[in-house]
Structure 1
């Protein structure tokens, strides 16, 4: 069978360098793929991935949304809202989403721009800068820190922890501690301090908010729930958004004509960010657990109890959905990519990621309308869950 001649492994370093040819072969020849070595199933076509993302009844997030986590089935503490199913997920998500409503995003823009200026202004007289080290590593952490109320002094350790927990040994699955998968210990002292020193931030709001839980009881968040909330928000906001900036530098260097259009017309930048998210998504896949009954894709069955990988990056390049999908095009109609997911688990931080991407690109283009990337000295981020770069140096002019 053709499917037996194919091998896809999200931990394979060589495949990860350019997974798109294998994604195409999977879509054409094995749209439902079974990896016997690691015992997981995968869907790669847009329609199947979108359907799977929306199916919260049969495809559960309660065991995690990272393949290694789903297969380890760790003890999941309360409050990891990205790893919950409705109705509990709906309740917890509503609390966190308060920080990302449009009104707050509009109020945030000037502060995000100021952070960008702080990152970029010292670099304007230099002949080079790094899209990740100088911008991607700094801007998302400063923004999340300001939004959540994490003090500047604590932000480097939060960023380092977000990186650490998602790092796997190259070629091997992420190591998952079954008994201590998630904790919020890094925020314990700060939350205790914030209780006595309230401010206008997410932590203060979550300390005081009352809500009706899944039992119908009106209560406040427990300390453990709050600590986990902060860990989830900080980790997701720093690691995935930070990877977007490395791809921004690389892809636009490879498409100088389109970059010039953006320099001349900043109104094209929001659509360019959407196309960048489609073309090189920082989070290439998410996983689910087939919980209560078998599910079918392409007239084939995935048995209950299986781990299912949804290949977002493959779906974003599916020619059944997108015309000429391997072409980067800032004039492509936006809105159809699956980078932020679909349905109940659509990324709650999507408005913030879009805001940071747009503002950052505007500020970069003001200062550096032309650049070439130094791929010989660029460093890939070796993680199976977030695809991107630890360094993307650019030579300007």
Structure 2
């Protein structure tokens, strides 16, 4: 069944009945924009009876819904499958928390992503990127994901946390394996950091791991204390996994998108100062996470229809980002010169992504260094491998033929 605003939003009953969005369809998620365009116009409030969820697709609805953390809560999970499972969320899972406890934990972790600490990483990130790319210079092939994107984000998290470089690869491999499994075991992921916590406990240093070990805060009971070991493991897991896979996918989408728009790619080669704006447009155009799921705490009305308390609601980020009402005249046009307006790729409100500046920096450096060495390329489609995960979409391999 499809629910819509009123007769003006539905062309006819037959057309509306054919409109179907399945968030578990990997192939559809790789190119959902035709369906999203129809949802925005024909069914701005959509209901899927097979998977029992509602969805909002227009920018204004999605933005306001994500910000309204009292009506749409994260405490039951931020993925549809977690909400529907009814599983108990492990304490300290920042992305699955609501205020006031979320604010306490967020404030504690925000010290990890201060502008100073993020910008201080630029030389290290650039040097690592050059090490990945230099051996490939002069060859005719480059894989945006396997040669760079899959390695960079977790390595950067390792730099941020003070994990020795020789151990960063192991953390990367563990994080990738966990995220690509059928079910994400957050506590198992956290254990990979255990030995680094033990080492920093005995050998403090000027790094974020030490900062978090020594940080004192007032918890939800009013008690002033430090993080317990299990809390710290969970925090490190959230830091390491929440942004790594998405940044990997961003770099893959950059390779695909700029191959599709060679004229705009040539402008970036000629004027690298345009690259930050291009990263922003790629983030809007092909967000790695297409939706944010929320649990509905009270009956709420959209377009003359009631969404009942206890429902699951998908906020369709990928659709909101192309809504012409927000991005005129046509949100389905890729344009690196587009007037900058905030998009929904990093969320909004209390759950706005703390690592957004780091992700933008990684994307900027990646494109700058790639375009210096490989100004033109075409995608080697027979060997491209789409990711089979539904939570974060993109490419396991984005091989290109460099001309």
TM normalised by structure 2 equals: 0.92
The separation in 1 between residues aligned to 2:100 and 2:189, in whole angstroms, is: 22
Write out aligned runs for 1:378-389 (5 A): 378-389=384-395
1:218 corresponds to 2:224: yes
Consecutive unaligned residues of structure 2, counting only runs of 5 or more, are: 1-12
The separation in 2 between residues aligned to 1:181 and 1:163, in whole angstroms, is: 15
Q: Which secondary structure does the structure 1 equivalent of 2:123 belong to?
A: helix
2:137 maps to which residue?
124
1:375 maps to which residue?
381
The separation in 2 between residues aligned to 1:362 and 1:30, in whole angstroms, is: 40
1:277 corresponds to 2:286: no
* Match of residue 304, structure 2, among 299, 306, 309: 299
1:309 corresponds to 2:318: no
* Match of residue 163, structure 2, among 141, 150, 153: 150
Greater alpha carbon shift after TM alignment, 21-30 vs 99-108: 99-108
Q: Is the 8 A contact 1:146 1:201 kept in 2?
A: no
For residues 237-288 of structure 1, give each alpha carbon's deviation from its aligned partner in whole angstroms, at most 9, with x where no partner exists. Answer: 2111110111111111111111111111111111100000000011111101
Q: Is the 8 A contact 1:250 1:392 kept in 2?
A: yes
1:340 corresponds to 2:310: no
For residues 327-367 of structure 1, give each alpha carbon's deviation from its aligned partner in whole angstroms, at most 9, with x where no partner exists. Answer: 11000112321100111100011000000001111111111
Q: Which secondary structure does the structure 1 equivalent of 2:28 belong to?
A: helix
Going from structure 1 to structure 2, the CA distance change for 1:21 and 1:389 (only over 3 Å counts) comes to same
Q: Is the 8 A contact 2:26 2:389 kept in 1?
A: no
1:17 maps to which residue?
30
* Match of residue 237, structure 1, among 219, 243, 268: 243
Q: Is the 8 A contact 1:274 1:335 kept in 2?
A: no
**Structure 1 residue 196: deviation in Å?**
0.8
Write out aligned runs for 1:173-252 (5 A): 175=183, 184-252=190-258
The separation in 1 between residues aligned to 2:129 and 2:26, in whole angstroms, is: 32
Consecutive unaligned residues of structure 1, counting only runs of 5 or more, are: 169-173
Write out aligned runs for 1:252-267 (5 A): 252-267=258-273
The separation in 2 between residues aligned to 1:296 and 1:152, in whole angstroms, is: 52
TM normalised by structure 1 equals: 0.94
Q: Is the 8 A contact 2:30 2:394 kept in 1?
A: no
1:72 corresponds to 2:85: yes
Greater alpha carbon shift after TM alignment, 29-38 vs 14-23: 14-23
Q: Which secondary structure does the structure 2 equivalent of 1:184 belong to?
A: helix
Greater alpha carbon shift after TM alignment, 209-218 vs 339-348: 209-218
